[in-house]
Amino acid sequence: MRYLFILFTCFSISTSYAQSRWTTDQANAWYKKQPWMTGCNYQPATAINQLEMFQAATFDPSQIDKELGWAQELGFNTMRVFLHHVAWTSDKDGFKKRLNNYLDISAKHNVKTIFVFFDDCWNDKYAAGKQPQPKTGTHNSGWVRDPGTDIRNNPDSLKMLESYVKDIMTAHKDDKRIVMWDLYNEPGNSGYVDKSLNLLKQVFAWAKEVNPSQPLTSGVWNYGNNFDNLNKFQLENSDIITYHHYGYVDRHEAKIAELKAYKRPLVCTEYMARRNGSLFQTVLPMLKAEQVGAINWGFVSGKTNTIYAWDTPMAGGEEPELWFHDIYRQDKTPFSQNEVNTIKALNGKK
């Protein structure tokens, strides 16, 4: 009997997810009402990580306003922005005011936002307050995971994370400035693999309880067999299919063909790594032709140091001949005017 109960419980949980997910008709009808999504993963040049972006002492609305103005000139209409629960636990009301301020600025520039809650990438330790200075020539030296190893499976911490997610989502569940909720970035990264599956399931359950008007997603990113469980859950529970791809255009196109089998809209929420062959000039036209949303990594070169490649530090800190990510320097000179021309042309800007 106990065995049957466990089976029934597991089936019920799975069924509840399936029942609350948008149908393919709903998802496709919603997508048809959206403009072609183009934009980037956005972090102002003055912030090394999610906390520095949104804490009171370092929140920089004038910088954000300037940079999103540049984005508008390119024709970008969507920014993917990472949050962090510590910004909420340390200053709940202030954090929510600053989120709203950010959304006001983005709306001024006709830019909608994809907010990201959790993230398994880069540094495991973090704290509120002053954030570290960038390590010279090192990609994302100050970016922090959320929630990280120490609290991810602590039952008391899960209650706190649930309150955080529900508080932010409830406040913005019908906010037209938000186009989508990305619940978990690259679950299983940093060697976690299936250790992230429980939190992934939890955050989808919490989000479904809020029942926002915007779609929910978590993007697949690692296509190895050891990620089968995570990928299966993400693909079977996301309203809109999102994914990451940093490879050559032919491989990227093959991945799109594979994901189209789900008959749902597709948005690529991370691409463009020049060293790896993922280029604006080749990938962006293909994404537009395939009607796939296009959100590249990086915008204005700054404290995140993402002009430097993954795991390839440059000790001298000189500007690399070939930038890995990012489009502009802080004086607005682009890495490549040809790239800027390509982006503008595809977005219908002169």
Instruction: Confirm whether 14 is domain-assigned.
Output: no
Q: What is the pLDDT of residues 220-232, one digit of tens each?
A: 999 999 999 999 9
User: Which pLDDT value is given to residue 244?
Assistant: 98
Residue 74 has pLDDT above 80, yes or no: yes
* Among 107-111, 120-124, 147-151, the least confident range: 147-151
Distance CA 301, CA 295 (A): 16
Side chain identity at 305, as an amino acid letter?
N
Q: What is the pLDDT of residues 247-281, one digit of tens each?
A: 999 999 999 999 999 999 999 999 999 999 999 99
Residue 152 has pLDDT above 90, yes or no: no
Instruction: Confirm whether 4 is domain-assigned.
Output: no
- Give the rounded percent of residues in the chain with a pLDDT score beyond 90: 92
pLDDT band of residue 5 (cuts 50, 70, 90) is very low
Residue 180 has pLDDT above 60, yes or no: yes
Q: What is the pLDDT of residues 86-116, one digit of tens each?
A: 999 999 999 999 999 999 999 999 999 999 9
The string over 295-323, giving b where at least 16 C-beta atoms fall within 10 Å of a residue's C-beta and e elsewhere, is: bbbbbbbbbbbbbbbeeebbeeeeeeeeb
Mean pLDDT of 52-71: 98
Residue 9 has pLDDT above 80, yes or no: no
Total domains in the chain come to 1
CATH of the domain at 56: 3.20.20.80
Sequence-ordered list of residues with C-beta below 8 angstroms from that of 19, at least 6 positions apart, any chain: none
Instruction: Confirm whether 327 is domain-assigned.
Output: yes
User: Which pLDDT value is given to residue 153?
Assistant: 73
Q: What is the pLDDT of residues 37-56, one digit of tens each?
A: 999 999 999 999 999 999 99
Sequence-ordered list of residues with C-beta below 8 angstroms from that of 201, at least 6 positions apart, any chain: 13, 233
Mean pLDDT of 20-41: 97
Domain span including residue 258: 35-346
User: Which pLDDT value is given to residue 269?
Assistant: 99
Residue 12 has pLDDT above 50, yes or no: no
Instruction: Confirm whether 8 is domain-assigned.
Output: no
Hunting for tokens 């299919």 — which residue is that? Answer: 241
- Give the rounded percent of residues in the chain with a pLDDT score beyond 70: 95
User: Which pLDDT value is given to residue 4?
Assistant: 35
Give the pair of three-digit tokens for residue 202: 């939890």
User: Which pLDDT value is given to residue 93?
Assistant: 98
Q: What is the pLDDT of residues 187-230, one digit of tens each?
A: 999 999 999 999 999 999 999 999 999 999 999 999 999 999 99
Q: What is the pLDDT of residues 306-326, one digit of tens each?
A: 999 999 999 999 999 999 999
User: Which pLDDT value is given to residue 350?
Assistant: 87
Instruction: Confirm whether 11 is domain-assigned.
Output: no
User: Which pLDDT value is given to residue 6?
Assistant: 35
Instruction: Confirm whether 332 is domain-assigned.
Output: yes
Residue 16 has pLDDT above 80, yes or no: no
Side chain identity at 158, as an amino acid letter?
L
Sheet containing strand 178-185, edge to edge, reads 216-217, 178-185, 112-119, 78-82, 38-41, 293-297, 266-270, 241-244
Sequence-ordered list of residues with C-beta below 8 angstroms from that of 54, at least 6 positions apart, any chain: 83, 84, 87, 95, 98, 99, 102
pLDDT band of residue 154 (cuts 50, 70, 90) is confident
User: Which pLDDT value is given to residue 61?
Assistant: 98
pLDDT band of residue 19 (cuts 50, 70, 90) is very low
Greater confidence (151 vs 210) lies with: 210
Does residue 295 contact residue 267 with C-beta atoms inside 8 Å?
A: yes
Instruction: Confirm whether 269 is domain-assigned.
Output: yes
Instruction: Confirm whether 29 is domain-assigned.
Output: no
